Amino acid sequence: MGTETDTAYGEWTDTRGGRAARRTGRRLGAWCAGLLFTGVSVVVGCRVADSDGITPVPQLLAFLPWLLVPTAVGLLLTLLARWWTGAVWGVALLGLLAWFAEPYGRTGEPAGPPVAQVRVLTSNVEFGQGTDALIAAVRDEKPDLVFVQECEYTCDAALRRELAARYPHRQAVEGGGSEGSVILSAFPLEAAPGVPGTMGMPGAVADVRGHAVRLQLAHPMPPLPDQVDLWRKELAAVRDAVAAPGDRGTPTVLAGDFNASQDHAAFRRILDTGLGDAARLAGEDRTPTWPAKTLPVFGTQIDHVLVSEDFAAHGARFLDLAGTDHRALVVDLTLHAADG
């Protein structure tokens, strides 16, 4: 009798212990899911509010589509934990992330007749380290306009030496490290005011087969944790430059490393001036350009060619260049005359 009683008591104890362990596991799973959802909700909430928030939100917004991963993990945990309120939370987050993953900005083509074909290449050569690879890419791609960021003194000298015959026209801000920037052009250029910033952002007006086209290089500061306000300020300066009343109506190409994606409110405000993202127009709006070491598995598109409504974009290609942590972007544009 004593043995039977002990056995029954042991089974009862094991059952109680198993249930307690399952409750503890479910509680832990629900807590982990809640933490994941809370972090994602802060970022998504800023996206809904059309705000870039404060650190670490601007940095995470650059990778907004990738937040689908922690959200999906959290949703799985809620199902295992049988936390149905959390499951609703997770499904709502997945829906919002999928909604915001859609391309942003204008579509469609100009109504006027085509008057010129223009190929544009933009590249951040990372302190000049990707200069040789860039020169080779330029010779292969034969762009008409080249926008180069982080082109320090040795990079600038190499471009003059190797590419001056094809690109006799240039506008540059000379500088060391990340400060130097250059616009190279096969078309005649006139100097134009650039955008003031920590790094060089030169401007020019190109004569594209008899049509004036405003060129502006963009390279605002990145949203480092202690420089988010400066990042916003310099992106706003780029926006103000292209939205200036005196330049409205002039065909415009704004290209470079924006240190911002379509998920940043500060970048969307530039698009809201009427510019279109050439990669988006060509169906490549989510192709990542940085950081090159993790591409194509993981990354974000922060290198852009933005164009006014006078342009149509028919192709966008992303080039892997040795020596730099950015992909170069090549786009084929068609300039159209004003309708009517």
Give the model's pLDDT for residue 13: 56
Q: Which of 21-25, 32-36, 267-271, 296-300 has the lowest mean pLDDT?
A: 21-25
User: Do 93 and 162 fall within a single domain?
Assistant: no
Q: Return the residue matching tokens 């307690």.
A: 20
Give the model's pLDDT for residue 188: 98
Percent of the chain with pLDDT over 70: 94
Measured distance CA(149)–CA(47) in Å, rounded: 28
- Is the pLDDT at 17 greater than 90, yes or no? no
- Is the pLDDT at 2 greater than 50, yes or no? no
Q: Which of 21-35, 165-179, 203-217 has the lowest mean pLDDT?
A: 21-35
User: What pLDDT band is residue 1 in, cutting at 50, 70 and 90?
Assistant: very low
In 3D space, the residue among 82, 183, 154, 201 whose CA is nearest the CA of residue 323 turns out to be: 154
| Any domain includes 189 | yes
Tokens representing 315 are: 């192709």
Percent of the chain with pLDDT over 90: 83
User: Do 153 and 247 fall within a single domain?
Assistant: yes
In 3D space, the residue among 198, 208, 200, 161 whose CA is nearest the CA of residue 180 turns out to be: 200
| Any domain includes 224 | yes
User: Do 82 and 120 fall within a single domain?
Assistant: no
Q: What is the pLDDT of residues 54-87, one digit of tens each?
A: 999 999 999 999 999 999 999 999 999 999 999 9
Choosing from 50, 76, 100, the residue where a domain stops is: 100
Cis peptide before 296 (omega within 30 of 0): yes
Mean pLDDT throughout 40-50?
A: 97
Domain residue limits at 23: 2-100
Mean pLDDT throughout 255-278?
A: 97
In 3D space, the residue among 296, 299, 308 whose CA is nearest the CA of residue 270 turns out to be: 308
- Is the pLDDT at 274 greater than 90, yes or no? yes
User: Do 129 and 74 fall within a single domain?
Assistant: no
Measured distance CA(312)–CA(270) in Å, rounded: 18
Measured distance CA(158)–CA(259) in Å, rounded: 25
Q: What is the pLDDT of residues 134-148, one digit of tens each?
A: 999 999 999 999 999
| Any domain includes 107 | no
| Any domain includes 105 | no
User: Do 83 and 121 fall within a single domain?
Assistant: no
User: Do 43 and 132 fall within a single domain?
Assistant: no
Tokens representing 77 are: 């945990």
Q: Which uninterrupted H or E stretch holds 266? A: helix 265-271
Contact 180/156 with Cβ under 8 angstroms?
A: yes
Q: What is the pLDDT of residues 107-120, one digit of tens each?
A: 878 989 999 999 99
User: What pLDDT band is residue 18 in, cutting at 50, 70 and 90?
Assistant: confident
| Any domain includes 106 | no
Give the model's pLDDT for residue 10: 59
User: What pLDDT band is residue 297 in, cutting at 50, 70 and 90?
Assistant: confident
| Any domain includes 207 | yes
Q: What is the pLDDT of residues 234-246, one digit of tens each?
A: 999 999 999 986 6
| Any domain includes 109 | no
User: Do 320 and 200 fall within a single domain?
Assistant: yes
User: Do 204 and 305 fall within a single domain?
Assistant: yes
| Any domain includes 30 | yes
User: Do 55 and 193 fall within a single domain?
Assistant: no
Largest CA distance in the chain: 107
User: Do 67 and 126 fall within a single domain?
Assistant: no
Contact 307/338 with Cβ under 8 angstroms?
A: no
Give the model's pLDDT for residue 148: 98
Q: Which long-range contacts (CB under 8 A, 24 or more apart) does 153-157 make?
A: 153/128, 153/180, 154/128, 155/125, 155/128, 155/131, 155/180, 155/182, 156/180, 156/182
User: Do 325 and 219 fall within a single domain?
Assistant: yes
Choosing from 100, 130, 161, the residue where a domain stops is: 100
Cis peptide before 291 (omega within 30 of 0): yes
Choosing from 55, 71, 100, the residue where a domain stops is: 100
What DSSP designation does 338 have? Answer: P
Measured distance CA(187)–CA(210) in Å, rounded: 10
pTM of the model: 0.91
User: What pLDDT band is residue 14 in, cutting at 50, 70 and 90?
Assistant: low
- Is the pLDDT at 21 greater than 50, yes or no? yes
User: What pLDDT band is residue 300 in, cutting at 50, 70 and 90?
Assistant: very high
Q: State how many domains the chain has.
A: 2
Give the model's pLDDT for residue 94: 96
Q: What average pLDDT does the structure give for the chain?
A: 93
Measured distance CA(103)–CA(98) in Å, rounded: 11
User: What pLDDT band is residue 12 in, cutting at 50, 70 and 90?
Assistant: low
User: Do 63 and 196 fall within a single domain?
Assistant: no
CATH of the domain at 286: 3.60.10.10
Residues for the chain: how many in total?
A: 340
Tokens representing 90 are: 């997770």
Give the model's pLDDT for residue 338: 83
